[in-house]
Chain A
Amino acid sequence: MSTKPAFQGAGSDPGGSAAQCNDGVKHEMSAPAHRSQIVLTFFWIALGLFVIILSYGLGIGGLSNPGPGLMPFALGCFLCIVSLYFLCEIVLKQGSRDKDVREKKDRTHFGKLGLVLAALFAYPLLLEPLGFLITSFSVLFVLFRSMSNRWFTVLLGSLFTALISYFLFTFLGVQLPKGILKGLS
């Protein structure tokens, strides 16, 4: 086994990995979709240009008197150059790709992902007005419910988890908002 491809598989996921490994090389979860790669590269170019314009306004200064915009300006330029180069690379690669290679079917569960995202965004919105216990209970309920169909278990589980985490984190010195339950304590 050569080390090079092995590095690639592991290096891309330093935070931890849940992929099954049978031959040591972590398999990519889905074949990188070329269109998304190109869209993202255009985003990098746009970001680079945006930064260049903004940092010009901040004042680039000179080499003897470097201004606050100097480093972002240089970074913006680099970002544009590298992204343009990468764009050429993707386009060239696409031309030489083997047509028999079918892309793996994307199995993203958009419904589940959307529900989890909605629950996550609801959390900071509701946390301070409603308080920790009610918000956490509701969000946990939605999250557990997205994973299981047993209503009663989900209800009890969310309630206990919210209570236990409240006492645990309060014990650790974290100040959690009480919200509308303020009068109870």
Chain B
Amino acid sequence: MDVFSGILSGFQTVLSPMNFVFCFGGVLIGTLVGVLPGIGPVGAMSILLPTTYGLSPVSSIIMLAGIFYGAMYGGSTTSILVNIPGEAASVVTCLDGYQMARKGRAGPALGISALGSFIGGTFSIFGLVFLVFPLAETALKLGPPEYFSIIFMSMIILTYMAAGSFAKALIMIITGLLLGTVGIDSVSGVARFSFGSTSLLDGIGLIPAAMGLFGISEVFTNLEVEIKRSVFETRIRHLLPTVQDWKRSIGPVIRGSFIGFFLGILPGPSPVVSSFLSYSIEKKISKEPETFGQGAIEGVAGPETANNAATGGSFVPLLALGIPPNVSMGLLLGALMIHNVIPGPLLITQHPDVFWGLISSMYLGNAMLVLLNLPLIGIWVKILKIPYRLLMPLILLCCLIGAYSINNNVVDVVIMILFGIAGYILRKLDYGLAPLILAYVLGPLLETHFRTSLIMSDGNLAIFMQRPISCATLGVSAILLISTGFSYYRQMKMKVIQ
């Protein structure tokens, strides 16, 4: 199937009334969780994942993906109007977006962030379509050693991107990998670390774990800080940016699209990282860097475009290789696996409806989001005024029902609460939770490929170095690891000397 007829058939799938409703529902929920600070896209996706069991694989992935990219739109609204990022990827939008709002230019700020998001989102879908085919074709030639090396490199890039403390990120990854070993070993059939519990034989569920770490623990953290939200009472006028605004924004938007898309392919919190990178690049090349932080429209246009472009980019490794680069993609992988659809190089040929349906739904979803976020901005401003004391019990109830509905089993609810407590403690002590859950998703894949490679080579570790792609990937990982370790060592030395 060529690209054109593929997209056409995709639109046929999406425009069926059922899928249309799920696409709309997804982006609506996405915008909602983007606007509400108490819960992020990962929490919302994991709560709703069990309700997609009864749907077709196309409908469920269309809706879940809609939550993921819809949240990027919603997040900017709170950053601009309240100076509180709705989710982490719009933290940087606070800098200039809020200043623009204070100067009475909330309208253009919201307008450029929605339109920039749309451009970035659309660009990344084009990029995705053109990159996924050659990559999937190459991926067909990859064997277990190459897969092992690529997943290994993902882990290294995760620690590299997570910054903060190198050791903490490593500890989180190792713990995540260990959590992935719980349950029956797929190669030997031996039960590992299940401690006699039948519920643990299938392993620790991804959904209760993600819900606990990103839903419950978020609520616990918010319990102790009074969230004060003062929304701008002024009427929002002139949503469409002027010609002058466009002249200043077009460069940042184009650069943001590229930065976002290519960073999106890499493992890690790419929407977050790309928005920061876009901001610092715009500031660096600007003729008037002193206006940044005072309400420069470039500081809104670039990052907002970049974080949306990153969402499209992050579908590339999932769809072409079956390797999720971030937690949201990990949840999508889980959702597809439930329907026995395995993402990877064979997805396009085996399930063209899922692949093209998803791509087309992203075009449609982005268009819906512009409509939802510009003319209907007033509704979201009203929703912002809902006090947290009303939201908190609702979020918790959704988590409880969501966890129970996975298997109609209360054990999942207990697991979720325990992960919530663990997540709360880890958050308090500045551990990043994303590497933990991503390593947990990738762990079983990593282990299976490692062991199959060893069986292939009859126990010779050199197999990883004898195959060119595997050798090159491991080489890059080694360079990253050494450079991180070295800069870390230097920092430590400086600190000790001081």
The smallest C-beta distance from B366 to any residue of chain A, in angstroms, reads 21
A69 to B420, CA, bound (A): 28
Q: A64 contacts the other chain (Cβ, under 8 Å)?
A: yes
Contacts of B447 in A (CB 8 A): 71
Residue contact A123 to B400, C-beta cutoff 8 Å = yes
Q: B280 contacts the other chain (Cβ, under 8 Å)?
A: yes
Q: B222 contacts the other chain (Cβ, under 8 Å)?
A: yes
Contacts of A92 in B (CB 8 A): 492, 495-496
A159 to B445, CA, bound (A): 45
Interface residues on B, range: 35 or more
Q: A180 contacts the other chain (Cβ, under 8 Å)?
A: no
Q: A49 contacts the other chain (Cβ, under 8 Å)?
A: no
Partner of B459, one of A6, A55, A65: A65
Q: B380 contacts the other chain (Cβ, under 8 Å)?
A: no
Residue contact A172 to B164, C-beta cutoff 8 Å = no
A79 to B460, CA, bound (A): 25
The smallest C-beta distance from B328 to any residue of chain A, in angstroms, reads 9
Contact with B along A51-86 (1 / 0, CB 8 A): 100110011001111111111100110110011011
The smallest C-beta distance from B53 to any residue of chain A, in angstroms, reads 7
Q: B355 contacts the other chain (Cβ, under 8 Å)?
A: no
Contacts of B451 in A (CB 8 A): 66, 70-71
A9 to B94, CA, bound (A): 14
Q: B421 contacts the other chain (Cβ, under 8 Å)?
A: yes
Chain B residues numbered 195-252 whose CB sits less than 8 Å from any CB in chain A: 213-214, 216, 218-225, 227-228
Partner of A16, one of B37, B163, B190, B405: B37
Tell whether A113 pairs with B495 under 8 Å between CB atoms, given A12-B430, A14-B433, A18-B38.
no
A48 to B216, CA, bound (A): 26
Q: B455 contacts the other chain (Cβ, under 8 Å)?
A: yes
Q: A183 contacts the other chain (Cβ, under 8 Å)?
A: no
A15 to B104, CA, bound (A): 31
Residue contact A68 to B276, C-beta cutoff 8 Å = no
Contacts of A11 in B (CB 8 A): 161-164, 268-269, 272-273, 432, 434
Residue contact B393 to A147, C-beta cutoff 8 Å = yes
Listed stretches B108-116, B125-133, B309-317, B409-417; interface member: B409-417
Closest to B417 in A: A120
Contact with A along B408-450 (1 / 0, CB 8 A): 1011011001001100010111111110000000000001001
Contacts of A26 in B (CB 8 A): 88, 91
Closest to B215 in A: A15
**A19, A22, A28, A70, most chain B CB atoms within 10 A:** A19
A86 to B496, CA, bound (A): 15
The smallest C-beta distance from A170 to any residue of chain B, in angstroms, reads 10
Tell whether A120 pairs with B283 under 8 Å between CB atoms, given A11-B432, A82-B171, A96-B495.
no
Residue contact B39 to A173, C-beta cutoff 8 Å = no
Tell whether A143 pairs with B84 under 8 Å between CB atoms, given A24-B94, A82-B174.
no
Contacts of A147 in B (CB 8 A): 389-390, 392-393
A59 to B187, CA, bound (A): 13
Contacts of B39 in A (CB 8 A): 16
Residue contact A67 to B188, C-beta cutoff 8 Å = yes
The smallest C-beta distance from B180 to any residue of chain A, in angstroms, reads 9
Contact with B along A101-132 (1 / 0, CB 8 A): 00000011100110011011101110110000
A117 to B41, CA, bound (A): 23
Residue contact A165 to B214, C-beta cutoff 8 Å = no
Contacts of A30 in B (CB 8 A): 428
Partner of A51, one of B33, B85, B178, B404: B178
Q: A148 contacts the other chain (Cβ, under 8 Å)?
A: yes
Q: A185 contacts the other chain (Cβ, under 8 Å)?
A: no
A72 to B181, CA, bound (A): 7
A140 to B229, CA, bound (A): 24
Contacts of B460 in A (CB 8 A): 63-64
Residue contact B272 to A14, C-beta cutoff 8 Å = yes
Partner of B279, one of A1, A17, A28: A1
Q: B461 contacts the other chain (Cβ, under 8 Å)?
A: yes
Contact with B along A129-170 (1 / 0, CB 8 A): 000000010011001100110000000011001000100010
Contacts of A99 in B (CB 8 A): none
Residue contact B92 to A24, C-beta cutoff 8 Å = yes
A23 to B277, CA, bound (A): 16
Given A15-B43, A79-B178, list of 16 further CB < 8 A pairs? A3-B280, A10-B88, A14-B42, A14-B433, A21-B83, A21-B91, A26-B91, A37-B429, A66-B450, A68-B188, A89-B492, A113-B220, A144-B389, A165-B397, A174-B405, A175-B408
Among all A-B residue pairs, the 9 with the closest Cβ atoms: A64-B459, A16-B40, A147-B389, A63-B459, A143-B393, A124-B410, A86-B167, A15-B214, A124-B413
13 A-B pairs (CB sep. < 8 Å): A10-B269, A15-B434, A16-B86, A17-B37, A47-B178, A89-B492, A123-B400, A136-B401, A147-B390, A169-B405, A175-B405, A175-B408, A176-B405
> Interface of B with A (CB < 8 Å)?
33, 37-43, 50-51, 53-54, 79, 83-89, 91-92, 94-95, 161-165, 167-168, 170-171, 174-175, 177-178, 181, 185, 187-188, 190, 192-193, 213-214, 216, 218-225, 227-228, 268-269, 272-273, 276-277, 279-280, 283, 326-327, 389-390, 392-394, 396-398, 400-401, 404-405, 408, 410-411, 413-414, 417, 420-421, 425, 427-434, 447, 450-451, 454-455, 458-461, 492, 495-496, 498
> Interface of A with B (CB < 8 Å)?
1-4, 6-24, 26, 28-30, 32-33, 36-37, 40, 44, 47, 51, 54-55, 58-59, 62-72, 75-76, 78-79, 82-83, 85-86, 89, 92-93, 95-96, 107-109, 112-113, 116-117, 119-121, 123-125, 127-128, 136, 139-140, 143-144, 147-148, 157-158, 161, 165, 169, 172-177
